[in-house]
Amino acid sequence: MDMSSSVGPQYQEATKYVRGRPVPQAPGWAAAPPPYKSYEDYLEYVELPEPVRDGGRSIWELINERRSERDYTGEALSVEELSQLLWASAGLTGELEKTELRAVGSAGALYPNETYTIVQAVDGISRGVYHYDVREHALGMLADGDYSEPLAQACLGQTWMEAASAVFVWGAVVARCAWKYQNRAYRYLYLDAGHLGAQLQLAAAALALGSCNIGAFFDDEVADLIGLDGQTEVITYLTAVGRV
Ligand SMILES: Cc1cc2nc3c(=O)[nH]c(=O)nc-3n(C[C@H](O)[C@H](O)[C@H](O)COP(=O)(O)O)c2cc1C
């Protein structure tokens, strides 16, 4: 199939950095949108326990053992496990001048991906759609109830997801990256999301939990489920986690 005139190659070509061509200059930081999203109207607010920041299993063993797993028992996660998974992927780990740095890097330290969690079975936390409040290490509820079936259907009918205990969804605020990188930002939104999913999988392996990354989804349906417009904030990636 000749794709040379279609949108993929056109995008790749249009957003290349080429030696000898000027790299588009970013406007000053004054033009930067806020690095955090804030909601005024969470239905519930769940402060998470402090994550564990030391010890644990060898990174080499975890890399060697990591596999995508889709056959979950449906048993609940503990709130400590959920806390650890969120921190190990999207949580704060340091500071450089005035920028708060996170467990996973981001192009230009702009962190365009917001983390949402669909809680399907977590002890002590009601089922529902939550937004991860990074700075407070807390979850704010956006919608109450069991979304396991519509979520799996929005992921092209991947019904194995229904037995996951939690599904992490990343939505990238395009302007947070595009003010600096313009159209090249779309590369970075997805690269950043890939790092988040990869590190979450290693964290799940460290907790002896099964996980699987998900790139096959009806974009607008997942966005709708979280309450996003799917344009200013686009769904980039998901990871399902469950007991195996
Ligand atoms: C970008 C990306 C998207 C993926 N999307 C899906 C998906 O939608 N559904 C699924 O079951 N697995 C998905 N996977 C998991 C792959 O199928 C899996 O990583 C691959 O088969 C290799 O197996 P391993 O992860 O166990 O090493 C995805 C993996 C990646 C990296």
- Residues with Cβ within 8 Å of 126's Cβ and at least 6 positions away in sequence, in order, are 44, 119, 141, 144
Q: Where are the alpha helices (DSSP H) in 131-184?
A: 148-154, 174-181
Q: What is the DSSP string of 1-42?
A: ---TTSHHHHHHHHT---TTSPPPPPPPGGGPPPSS---S--
Residue 30: predicted pLDDT: 87
Domains defined along the chain, listed by start:
42-242 (3.40.109.10)
C-alpha span between 92 and 127 (Å, rounded): 25
Q: Take residue 185 and report the two structure tokens written for it.
A: 């930002």
Q: Which pTM was predicted?
A: 0.97
Closest CA to 147 of 120, 124, 166, 170: 120
C-alpha span between 13 and 130 (Å, rounded): 38
Each residue's pLDDT expressed in tens, for the chain with a length of 244 residues? 888 889 999 999 999 999 999 888 888 888 899 889 999 999 999 999 999 999 999 999 999 999 999 999 999 999 999 999 999 999 999 999 989 999 999 999 999 999 999 999 999 999 999 999 999 999 999 999 999 999 999 999 999 999 999 999 999 999 999 999 999 999 999 999 999 999 999 999 999 999 999 999 999 999 999 999 999 999 999 999 999 9
Q: Which residues line ligand 1 (CB under 6 A)?
A: 67-68, 70, 158, 212-216
Alpha carbon of 214 to ligand 1 centroid (Å): 6
Alpha carbon of 155 to ligand 1 centroid (Å): 13
Protein residue with least CA distance to atom 29, ligand 1 = 213
Protein residue with least CA distance to atom 23, ligand 1 = 68
Protein residue with least CA distance to atom 7, ligand 1 = 214
- Residues with Cβ within 8 Å of 70's Cβ and at least 6 positions away in sequence, in order, are 160, 161, 210, 212, 240
From the alpha carbon of 198, which atom of ligand 1 is closest? Answer: 31
Protein residue with least CA distance to atom 20, ligand 1 = 68
SS3 assignment, position 233: strand
Give per-residue burial for 56-89: e unless 16+ CB within 10 Å, then b.
Answer: eeeeeebeeeeeebbebeeebbebebbbbbbbbb
Are 46 and 136 within 8 A, CB to CB? no
From the alpha carbon of 217, which atom of ligand 1 is closest? Answer: 8
